[in-house]
């Protein structure tokens, strides 16, 4: 079941990441500094380090980086093929959040 609790503090992007990664909170720790105000490295470094993760986790990392940086590196094909139903639901909820809060 998707954990949909959102930390109301922080940037729009940080809150979207909380939704996207609700079932993988350790990925938030991997990506973000402890205060969630910045990344733990460059996007390229984080993508490289994530190559040790499952393909679904790699996709979540890339989507999260896209949210944070505003770049569009994620593939919808990867999202559709690699995320299980719970994480796909988190992806859709995070898009919905971003769509209706901007």
**pLDDT tens by residue, 42-80:** 999 999 999 999 999 999 999 999 999 999 899 999 999
Residue with tokens 């959040």: 97
Nearest to 23 by CA among 65, 70, 60, 69: 60
Instruction: Give the start-to-end residue ranges of the domains of the chain.
Output: 12-101
pLDDT digits (tens, 9 = 90+) for 2-53: 444 445 567 888 889 999 999 999 999 999 988 777 899 999 999 999 999 9
pTM of the model: 0.87
Nearest to 89 by CA among 11, 25, 20: 20
Nearest to 67 by CA among 25, 29, 23, 31: 31
Instruction: Note the maximum CA span of the chain.
Output: 34
């Amino acid at each position: 079941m998707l954990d949909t609790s959102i930390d109301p503090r922080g940037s729009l992007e940080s809150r979207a990441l909380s939704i996207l990664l609700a079932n993988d909170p350790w990925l938030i720790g991997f990506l973000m500094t402890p205060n969630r105000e910045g990344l733990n490295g460059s996007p390229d470094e984080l993508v490289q380090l994530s190559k040790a993760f499952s393909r679904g986790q790699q996709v979540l990392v890339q989507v999260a980086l896209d949210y944070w940086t505003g770049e569009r590196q994620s593939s919808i094909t990867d999202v559709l093929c690699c995320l299980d139903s719970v994480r796909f639901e988190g992806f859709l909820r995070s898009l919905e959040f971003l769509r209706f809060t901007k």
